[in-house]
Amino acid sequence: MLNKQLALVGEKATVVAFEGLGVDAFPVESADDARKVIARLIRKKEHAVIFVTEDVGKEIGDIIAESSKQYEPSVVLVPSSAGSQKIGLRKLSQVLKRALGTDILKIE
């Protein structure tokens, strides 16, 4: 995993800002584009983490759920440049509640 990269899939306005930080940016314009890009990234296994903006992620929940069955790469929802919808935070809260038996984040 030491040589693996980080990827960000989402709206162009959000992802291009991360290219200068060494993140592989994959701007997409539709849910169909995002599905294809994420499926290819998962299949190639060159990235340890694939970040997906919440705006895109809410449209492709099925592929994100399917990816969670694998150890690597991890697919993580992050806010877009438009702001957070707390989708990723709610998912983290669900995982922690299942693991710990209590909701320590208390997301509303």
pLDDT tens for 53-87 read 988 998 998 888 888 777 788 888 887 766 666 66
Ranges of each domain in the chain: 5-81
- Residue 50: is its pLDDT beyond 80? yes
Alpha carbons 8 and 15: distance in angstroms, whole number: 6
pTM of the model: 0.76
DSSP for 50-98, written as a single string: EEEEHHHHTT-HHHHHHHTTSSSSEEEEE-BTTB--SHHHHHHHHHHHH
pLDDT averaged over every residue in the chain: 82
Q: What is the pLDDT of residue 63?
A: 87
Tokens of 31: 């849910």
CATH class of 5-81: alpha beta
Q: What is the pLDDT of residue 1?
A: 44
State mean pLDDT over 29-58.
Answer: 92
